[in-house]
Structure 1
Amino acid sequence: MSGEVPLRERVRRELLERISDGRLRPGDRLFEQELAGEFGVSRVPVREAIRMLQSEGLVEVAPHRRGVFVRSLDRHQVEELFDVREALEALAARLAATRASAADVERLGALAAQARDALARGDVDTMSRANTEFHDGVVALSGNELLASVLEPLHGRLAWLFRLNLEPERVCREHAELHTAIAGGEPDRAAELALAHVRASRDMVLTRMAF
């Protein structure tokens, strides 16, 4: 694990990916020594990475349990996350529709198609990954680095919830509609679709989790 990217950031990115794709689930414990050995680094960058994830709300220190754990979310916290997503993802879609190049739009469409193809094959992991990358892609096309930095930890905190997706057909259909609006340079339509998509996902998650 060498190169220009600091070790702590490399470890952070790997742990974030594991939280996002479900390899690390809410309530799982993180052991510094084990992670240091796995990554081939000292415990210092692992400890720093964990602190970064803690500041992003992805892990929590539980003194009574004597350890660091992937954070669980209660209903109020999930509601708060979706409140923020509604505003920011609508903004991201609006900006993407005004700034995306033809090549950008083509890459976004490829992700939507990949998710649909995976759904048809019953490949849930590939579908979930493509759908997550689609959301990340819309944010990237917004061209707003601050917006991307704010949304990244939110996506990490919610990605494991989306693996509980009970409505994959709807998600794929709505992504296709959003891609069409962005490709057509329709900012108002794109924002409207993004907002409706996040609200539908909110309903799905809250129903699925049955707090």
Structure 2
Amino acid sequence: GLGLELLQGYGLTEASPVIGVNRPADNDPASIGPPIDGVEVRIGANGELLARGPNVMLGYWNQPQATAQMIDAEGWLHTGDKARIENGHIYITGRLKEIIVLANGEKVSPADMELAVSLDPLFDQVMVFGEGRPYLCALAVLNVDVWRVLAEESGLDPEDPASLRSEAARTAVLERIARRLASFPGHAQVRRVALLPEPWTIEADLITPTMKLRREQILEHHADRVAALYEGH
């Protein structure tokens, strides 16, 4: 090997981008380390990690509402991550508001599933949902070039938007999703999928300036497609 020491850290774009990092003399790989010099951290409501310091952004350009959702009146940046602090080290424990509870009480992390699915180049964007429902579904925006190959293999016209609504397309895409989720438990599987012709954008207020999904807005924007996925249930 190169003999380089690897140290785990944590941050986000809004924090320029580092909040905490382990030190060579004080390294706990299970944590993301203590905060960097000049940065304050604390645990807020619902166990959310908050950070404050000169590294925190002033705000999103021309988006005061989005800024107010991220930075409170006292200057604390709301990271959206759940954490605990022990012996000066920060431990990330999950993502706030991103746990789905199915109708049977089973809990899943959609972000973990979405990350696994997005490793397939077919998917440009994907969102898993199913809060209070009997099974999980997904909305997906496909990569144009990879979709063209898959469509032709499935006997579909990739230039015809109607192809995205075909049973053949949904079946082929669900098979690709299932491969990526093979290591997940049975309740953390996508049963149905809707394929969308247009990507989610910042301008449409469907993703944040840092490309995170605005889940509620996406579900509302595609309410008809979502309802169709649960018809009869």
* TM-score, normalised with respect to structure 2: 0.26
Determine which structure has the larger strand proportion and give its number.
2
Q: Which has the larger radius of gyration?
A: 2
Relative to the length of structure 1, the TM-score reads 0.28
Q: Specify which structure has the bigger relative contact order, considering alpha-carbon pairs within 8 angstroms and separated by 6 or more residues.
A: 1
Q: Which structure is higher in helix share?
A: 1
